[in-house]
Amino acid sequence: MKTSKVYTSLFASLILLIFSCTLELDQNKLLKAWTGPYMGTPAFDKMRVKDVKPAMLKAMQLNLQEIDAITENPEKPSFENTIEAIERSGKVLDQAFVYYGIFSSNKSSPAFREVQTELAPLFSEFQSKIIQNEKLFQRIKSVYEATKTNPLEEDQQRVVELTYQRFAMNGANLDDEKKERYAAINKELSTLYTKFSNNILHDEENYVTYLTDNQLGGLPDDFVKSAARIADGKGRAGKYAVTNTRSSMDPFLTYSTERDLRKQVWTNYYARGDNDDTYDNKEIIAQILKLRRERVGLLGHKNYAEWRLQNRMAKNPENAMALMQAVWPAAIARVAEEVADMQALSDTNGDDITIAAWDYRFYAEKVRKARYDLDSDEVKQYLQLDKLTDAMHYVAGRLFGYGFSPVPERTVSVFHEDVKVWEVIDNDSGDHIGLWYLDPYAREGKRSGAWATTYRSFSTFDGKTNVLASNNSNFVKPAPGEALLISWDDATTFFHEFGHALHFFASEVRYPTLNVGVRDYTEFQSQLLERWLSTDEVIDQFLVHKDTGSPMPDALVTKIKKAATFNQGFATTEYLASALMDMKLHLADSTGFDVGAFERKTLAALNMPKELPMRHRTPHFGHVFSGEGYATAYYGYMWADVLTADASEAFREAPGGFYDAAMSEKLVKYLFAPRNSIDPVEAYRLFRGRDATIDALMRARGFPLTP
């Protein structure tokens, strides 16, 4: 199909409009085109909070003008003049959002949070103007209807269907009155999401536990040195800071012999957003749940979960709940066994305590050492962050054929001195694929946890683009000259997030929309990559002692592998409790909702072991209440892990094991490169030759198979 002269003229006018507006705002660095090598990169060194609001307002205005050009096109709607035009729009806004995302996640500040609060409802209004644009939707619908009798190429058909679905799911078919209410709800929700996130960040920054020299019992030297450096940075020289983040809390609870302090640190962490003060999130959550339910009711859905899961692999909440409920009994039964082992050890030691939640990690570590002669701190001596980074690059080379070369400093700009950048190339062709940014350390203003994101995604539409992807962690920065040692669990998470980055780099799609993942599928690729951490090739080459450089001894490797299913009761139960809570919150009647009471009642009904909490308690469940990405979708990690365990067995059974060439080729071809260009269910069948089953998951966790 050829673009007409009229459309060509409109497109040319649009390009001129963008160009002129960019020139007009040359002083605003956040709106300037990315320049320099590697197809241009973000000017992170030019970021200023004062530029954020005007940049975002102008970028939204430009995008709306692009949409107007589409809707005012006098030609009959076609794939080229409607769907491709939408795909082409929003480039300036996408780039501006990269800077906004860095300020939000990596470099937040009180000044930015004020801007963020002001912009949140404006973003919502902007989205409503597009999603509820009647002329635009009618053009999309016209193309969608036409493809039912005259289908397009497979990827084009997929884009049409996804675009139509996105608009229809978000109220494009509603009448004017309902559209108005729908937009008002979204605007209110956007403000609540921002407030929820900022409340958590407040509690993470302000609840710090300071230790003295006589309160360091059991703590590893590397933790003590880092804690001293952090305290010094906070103006408390001579003290030791335990920050209110998982990366600091987790090792403290594992090793500290000070039980009262373990309770204090545990309480600070799990009470984030739940301190009955100005920053308490419970009432915010109640409002969010009520508004979400009202909004999907406008679309004719019974509850939020039913609406959300209609285009996910699970399809409906019943299927998601069935999976979780199949695993839950085995998980809590294993917790009972783990607690019994810990209590017995405590009694033998004469500790005279009953195991509580703040004791779980501490005594689990003791049981691990007693049962497997496995000391987590001994394992950490072989888990250096720099070496693990090399290990991930090695795996990417073996599976994907990628090479990683450090980019010289100042070649591209970064937003913090700790950020490092690598160029990614295809080892066979030498072709440039993209850049990989790594921001590894925790700091004030950076949100907790670990995540991956893209600054630019791959597509071949309007010319081939490279990928700018990042991984972000919150490791406690070591003292100068010291190696950063991390736990096996943290190393697993490091590999996990790198799996997301590889999913970005491996993309082979034409249209930007096809890079948007399906939530209960996109965690699969990253969870699968975790399995390569424990391969012999990685262990033998990269897990070397921080002082001697000697490889991890075979005896220690054997202990690690024998203990692979140890503490799976804790790991599975804390996660599943959060996933079940997420689903049940959104299935419940939200009228007059008491969040605290609902959480307690639901956990009691689940027979939740009292000795451990949910991984994310409701008042700080950012996955679910700081936005909608994981709302009624936190189960997706378990859904994806069914695929992960099944795919892992496929590699394990292959002649070349986890580095089998034929399996690696299928991995890239069917599971990574397509992104969302084909249905995930079909993609997995192409890889495995069948659907996945839950049996492999149960075996991987050491649980009895379900009947």
- 397's enclosing H/E stretch is helix 385-400
Task: Using pLDDT thresholds of 50, 70 and 90, give the confidence band for residue 33.
Answer: very high
Predicted confidence at residue 3, as pLDDT, reads: 40
The answer as to whether 180 is a domain residue is no
Average pLDDT, the chain: 94
- Mean of pLDDT values over 163-175: 95
Task: Using pLDDT thresholds of 50, 70 and 90, give the confidence band for residue 1.
Answer: very low
For 51-102, the DSSP string reads HHHHHHHHHHHHHHHHHHHHHT--SPP-IIIIIIHHHHTTHHHHHHHHHHHH
Predicted confidence at residue 518, as pLDDT, reads: 84
Closest C-alpha to 622, from 15, 204, 75, 168: 204
Residue 363 clears pLDDT 90, i.e. is over it: yes
Q: CATH number of the domain that 447 lies in?
A: 3.40.390.10
For 333-375, the DSSP string reads HHHHHHHHHHHHHHHHHT------GGGHHHHHHHHHHHHH---
pLDDT tens profile 508-517 = 999 999 999 8
The answer as to whether 372 is a domain residue is no
Domain count, the chain: 3
- Find all residues with CB under 8 Å of 666, minimum gap 6, and list them: 686, 687
Q: Does 113 share its domain with 215?
A: no
The answer as to whether 82 is a domain residue is yes
Q: Does 147 share its domain with 261?
A: no
Predicted confidence at residue 591, as pLDDT, reads: 86
Predicted confidence at residue 636, as pLDDT, reads: 93
The answer as to whether 87 is a domain residue is yes
pLDDT tens profile 137-153 = 999 999 999 999 999 99
Q: Does 59 share its domain with 115?
A: yes
Percent of the chain predicted with pLDDT > 70: 96
The answer as to whether 553 is a domain residue is no
How far the first Cα of the chain sits from its last, in Å, is 55
- Find all residues with CB under 8 Å of 340, minimum gap 6, and list them: none
Q: CATH number of the domain that 70 lies in?
A: 1.10.1370.40
Predicted confidence at residue 27, as pLDDT, reads: 76
- Find all residues with CB under 8 Å of 144, minimum gap 6, and list them: 160, 161, 163, 164
pLDDT tens profile 305-318 = 999 999 999 999 99
Where does 654-679 have alpha helices with state H? 661-666
Residue 360 clears pLDDT 60, i.e. is over it: yes
Last residue within a domain, chosen from 516, 532, 549: 516
Predicted confidence at residue 580, as pLDDT, reads: 98
Closest C-alpha to 242, from 255, 258, 254, 228: 228
d(CA 525, CA 467) in angstroms, rounded, equals 18
The answer as to whether 262 is a domain residue is yes
Q: Does 257 share its domain with 156?
A: no
Predicted confidence at residue 288, as pLDDT, reads: 97
Task: Using pLDDT thresholds of 50, 70 and 90, give the confidence band for residue 707.
Answer: low
The answer as to whether 319 is a domain residue is no
Task: Using pLDDT thresholds of 50, 70 and 90, give the confidence band for residue 6.
Answer: very low
Q: Does 391 share its domain with 449?
A: yes
Residue 15 clears pLDDT 60, i.e. is over it: no
d(CA 624, CA 215) in angstroms, rounded, equals 36
Q: Does 168 share its domain with 40?
A: yes
- 167's enclosing H/E stretch is helix 154-169
Domain encompassing residue 246: 207-270
pLDDT tens profile 299-353 = 999 999 999 999 999 999 999 999 999 999 999 999 999 999 999 999 999 999 9
Last residue within a domain, chosen from 253, 270, 287: 270
- Find all residues with CB under 8 Å of 298, minimum gap 6, and list them: 171, 174, 178, 181, 182
246-255 vs 259-270: helix crossing angle, rounded to 10: 160
Q: Does 232 share its domain with 96?
A: no
Last residue within a domain, chosen from 250, 270, 290: 270
Q: Does 12 share its domain with 156?
A: yes
Q: Does 88 share its domain with 149?
A: yes
Closest C-alpha to 246, from 435, 91, 447: 447
Nearest 5°: the CA angle 536, 542, 547 is 130
Q: Does 125 share its domain with 266?
A: no
- Find all residues with CB under 8 Å of 601, minimum gap 6, and list them: none
Predicted confidence at residue 5, as pLDDT, reads: 44
Predicted TM-score of the model (pTM):
0.88
pLDDT tens profile 614-645 = 999 999 999 999 999 899 999 999 999 999 99
Q: Does 16 share its domain with 143?
A: yes
Q: Does 83 share its domain with 126?
A: yes
The total of other beta-carbon atoms located within 10 Å of residue 698's CB is 18
317-349 vs 360-372: helix crossing angle, rounded to 10: 70
pLDDT tens profile 231-251 = 999 999 999 999 999 989 999
Percent of the chain predicted with pLDDT > 90: 91
- Mean of pLDDT values over 393-401: 98
The answer as to whether 99 is a domain residue is yes
